Amino acid sequence: MDQLMVPSNLADIADKVIRGDRLSADDGIRLFESDDLLALGHLSDLVRQRKHGDRVYFVVNRHINHTNICVNRCRLCAFGKDEDDPSSYVLSLDEIEAKARDAWLKGVSEVHVVGGLHPELSMDYYLEMIRRLREALPGVIIQALTAVEIDYLAELHSLSVHEVLTTLRQAGLDSMPGGGAEVFSHRVRQEICPKKISGERWLEVHAAAHTLGIRTNATMLYGHVETIEERVDHLIRLREQQDRTGGFLTFIPLAFQPRHTELEPAVPTRTTGFDDLKVLAVSRLLLDNFDHIKAYWVMIGPKLTQISLSFGVDDFDGTVMEEKITHAAGADSEQALTRVALIRMIRAAGRIPVERDTLYNVIREGF
Ligand code: V47
C-alpha cells in the first residue's frame, strides 16, 4: 500500500488501517467527509484484499415476496400497500411452493423470503410456508423474515421473539435477511418509518437469533435524510453488536430509491455513484469484525457493483430472479442476473468468482 495515494489529512487513518487497528467514530466521520474517493478505495481495498485475496462471492438465489400488504406503510417504501388497495396481494402457499420448485430447477442454494406486516397472516401461515419450502428445497438455505416481521409475529401472538424464532427454526428457518434496519437514529426513523420497530429492537431481535445459532445479515438504508454522523452511529452500533454476538454474516448498504414513495417530494433524486462507492468503502473500513461487505446490484446497478469490487466489496449478491421492493420504488436494474452474467462481471474485474451458499460455504470456485 502506497501511503502517497492517501492525502495528508487522512494519513493517521491510513496508518491505522495499515496496522490493522480499529477506526473510531470520528475517523468514520472524517472518511465520509473526504471527497478523495480513490484514497477511500485504496484503503478499503487493502482490507478486502487481506480478508479475501482475489475471491469474490456470489450466490444462486431467488427472492420471494409473499405479500405487499403492510400495516406500517413506511414513508421510505413504495412496495407496501393497504389491504383494500387493488394492487395488494398475498401469495398462497401453493404459489410460494411453485416459485420454490421453479427455483430448485434453476439450481438455487438460497431462497430469500420477505414481505409486509399483514395483520391476518398468522404463525400457521409462516410455519406451513417454511415447512413447504423445506420439503420442496432439500439442502437449500431458507433465509426468511426480517427482524421487523419477527417482532410483528411475536406481538400478534403474544409470544416472545425467542419463542417465535425457536418455532420457525424447528420448521426449517436457517437464516434471517438484514432488512428493516434502515438507520438506527430515532430522528431518522421518525421521518422515514415512524411506525417501524426501533433500532434498539432491531438489534435485540438479531441478538436473539444469534443466541439460537441463526446467522443473520445487516443493512443500512442510506441516501435520504440521514446525516454522516447518523450513518457512522449505525455502523458503530452494528460493530458493537457483532463484538458481542458474532452472528452477522454480511453487511449490505441499501441505496434509497425514492420513486412512488412518500419521501419523493423531499428526496427526489437517487443516490450518486460517488456516494454509493463511498458508503461501501467506509463500511468496509469501519466494520472490521464483519467478514463480508455485499453490494446489492439491484439498487446500484451491476456495472457500479463491478466497480465496487475495488472499493471494499467482496460479494456480488446473487441471481435474485424476481425483485419487487426496489422495483416498486423505480429501480431500473434488471429483475435477475444469470450465474453466467455474475461470473463474467467478476472475471472481467480480474477476480476469482466463488459460488457460495448463504453461510459462505464454497459451492464452486475458479470457473
Ligand atoms: O427492509 C424498502 C429496503 C429492504 C426501499 O439480507 C428500500 O442479504 C431502497 O433488506 N429504496 C429489503 N430500499 C431488502 C433487503 C435486502 C436486500 C438484499 C439482500 C439482503 C440480505 C437484504 O429494502 C427493506 C428496506 O430497508 N427498502 N424500500 C426503497 N424505496
> What's residue 24's pLDDT?
98
List, for residues 33-91, the tens digit of each pLDDT value: 999 999 999 999 999 999 999 999 999 999 999 999 999 999 999 999 999 999 999 99
* Choice from 254, 337, 356, 359 to test ligand 1 binding pocket (greatest atom count within 8 A of CB): 254
Nearest CA to ligand 1 atom 13: 256
For residue 312, give the C-alpha cell: 471494499
* Choice from 60, 65, 67, 77 to test ligand 1 binding pocket (greatest atom count within 8 A of CB): 77
> What's residue 310's pLDDT?
98
For residue 279, the CA-to-ligand 1 centroid distance in Å is: 16
Of 171, 167, 67, which Cα lies nearest the Cα of 129?
A: 171
Residue 267: HSE in the Cβ half-sphere, 13 Å Cα cutoff: 23
Domains of the chain in start order, with CATH, are 21-60+146-365 (3.20.20.70)
3-state helix, strand, coil in the chain (%, to 5): 45, 15, 40
> What's residue 3's pLDDT?
56
In the predicted model, residues of the chain with pLDDT beneath 50 are 1
120-122-123 Cα angle (round to 5): 165
Contact 176, 143 (CB under 8 A): yes
For residue 169, the CA-to-ligand 1 centroid distance in Å is: 23
> What's residue 306's pLDDT?
98
Q: Name the one residue in this structure whose C-alpha cell is 430509491.
A: 257
Q: In a 3-state reduction of DSSP, which class is residue 136?
A: helix
Contact 292, 314 (CB under 8 A): yes
Ligand 1 atom with the shortest distance to the CA of 78 = 30
Long-range interactions of 199-206: CB distance < 8 A, separation 24+: 199/234, 199/237, 201/147, 201/151, 202/147, 202/148, 203/237, 203/241, 204/161, 205/147, 205/150, 205/151, 205/161, 206/147, 206/176, 206/241, 206/245, 206/247, 206/248
User: Which CA distances in Å does 172 have to 70, 127, 168, 169, 314?
Assistant: 25, 9, 6, 5, 28
Ligand 1 atom with the shortest distance to the CA of 79 = 28
> What's residue 5's pLDDT?
83
User: Which CA distances in Å does 211 have to 148, 245, 312?
Assistant: 18, 7, 29
User: Which CA distances in Å does 107 have to 257, 293, 297?
Assistant: 30, 24, 20
Nearest CA to ligand 1 atom 4: 179
User: Which CA distances in Å does 118 have to 53, 85, 151, 327?
Assistant: 44, 13, 13, 20
Ligand 1 atom with the shortest distance to the CA of 219 = 10
> What's residue 366's pLDDT?
81
Ligand 1 atom with the shortest distance to the CA of 296 = 18
Task: State the average pLDDT for the chain.
Answer: 97
In angstroms, the first-to-last Cα distance of the chain is 29
For residue 143, the CA-to-ligand 1 centroid distance in Å is: 14
For residue 149, the CA-to-ligand 1 centroid distance in Å is: 13
* Protein residues with CB under 6 Å of any ligand 1 atom: 76-78, 114, 146, 177-180, 182, 217, 219, 221, 252, 254, 256-257, 261, 296, 325-326, 329
Nearest CA to ligand 1 atom 12: 179
List, for residues 113-160, the tens digit of each pLDDT value: 999 999 999 999 999 999 999 999 999 999 999 999 999 999 999 999
Nearest CA to ligand 1 atom 21: 177
> Which residues, including other chains, have CB under 8 Å from residue 241's CB and lie 6 or more apart?
203, 206, 207, 248
Contact 258, 329 (CB under 8 A): yes
Greatest CA separation found in the chain? Answer: 61
Contact 320, 294 (CB under 8 A): no
